[in-house]
Amino acid sequence: EVQLLESGGDLVQPGGSLRLSCAASGFTFNNYAMSWVRQTPGQGLEWVSAISGSGATTYYADSVRGRFTISRDNSKNTLFLQMNSLRAEDTAQYYCTRDRGSINKNPHDFWGQGTLVTVSS
Amino acid sequence: ENVLTQSPGTLSLSPGEGATLSCRASQSVGSTYLAWYQQKPGQAPRLLIYSTSNRATGIPDRFSGGGSGTDFTLTISRLEPEDFAVYYCQHYDNSRTFGQGTKVEIK
């Protein structure tokens, strides 16, 4: 059974940093690209970032490029999102997702339950 | 940015009725790169349809997708009680954007 368990969400001040983690199990982790997708309270969904199965290639939404860094440790089946220079508009539930393939351009076929990031003074 | 606009915003229907949800893109989308998700309150989204018309694993055949170019649809042939939820379309080409969602509520 595919399982994705996010952690690291917290209350942080504007300009601060946070690192999210996602522990994956139930599938061959390095065979799949992974993504982070966020959802603001009561609002819709926004794709944030993706990384290829090997970790060699990364992709970012314009809204986070230069501030967020996605990475993965395939030896530990773990996905990360380093978030710097956080803004109020980054407040959201952050979901770790498995992409339906090893490279970009695939839908999200499994989702974690999410971790909440709140940016506020 | 390819903007996806879903309509209607809310669909009020009774169990057993059929539902047709629309997703219109501001630029043409390759049929390989269009998906639909279902989200229930307090839950993460779930992949229903990918590549416009392919059902994801475990999705019942009352869900079907179609369309091409800039106009896509999700059809639910007969609504079951568990189908009342919010539905999102997404294109996952070079950039990935979601529509704003259609809520299917019980009439």
The string of pLDDT tens digits covering residues B30-46 is 999 999 999 999 999 99
Q: Cβ of B100 under 8 Å from any chain A Cβ?
A: yes
**Stretch A73-84: mean pLDDT:** 98
pLDDT of residue A43: 74
B71: its two tokens: 């106009």
Q: Cβ of B90 under 8 Å from any chain A Cβ?
A: yes
- Token match 């209607």: residue? B8
- Preferred mutation among A105, A110, A113, A116 to probe B, highest tally of B CBs within 10 A: A105
pLDDT of residue A103: 81
- Preferred mutation among B52, B96, B98, B103 to probe A, highest tally of A CBs within 10 A: B96
A6: its two tokens: 């996010």
Beta carbons of A22 and A96 less than 8 angstroms apart: yes
**Cα–Cα distance measured from residue B6 to residue B72, given in angstroms and rounded to the nearest whole number:** 9
Render pLDDT for B72-102 as a digit per residue (tens, 0 to 9): 999 999 999 999 999 999 999 878 999 999 9
Nearest C-alpha of chain B: how many angstroms from A48? 9
Phi, psi values for residue A29, rounded to 5°: -55, -45
Contact A108 B47 (CB under 8 A): yes
Query: How does the average pLDDT of chain B come out, rounded?
Result: 96
Q: Cβ of B44 under 8 Å from any chain A Cβ?
A: yes
Q: Dmax of chain B from CA atoms?
A: 39
B50 vs A46, A100, A112: nearest CB:
A100
pLDDT tier at A66, thresholds 50, 70, 90:
very high
pLDDT of residue A34: 96
Beta carbons of A115 and A8 less than 8 angstroms apart: yes
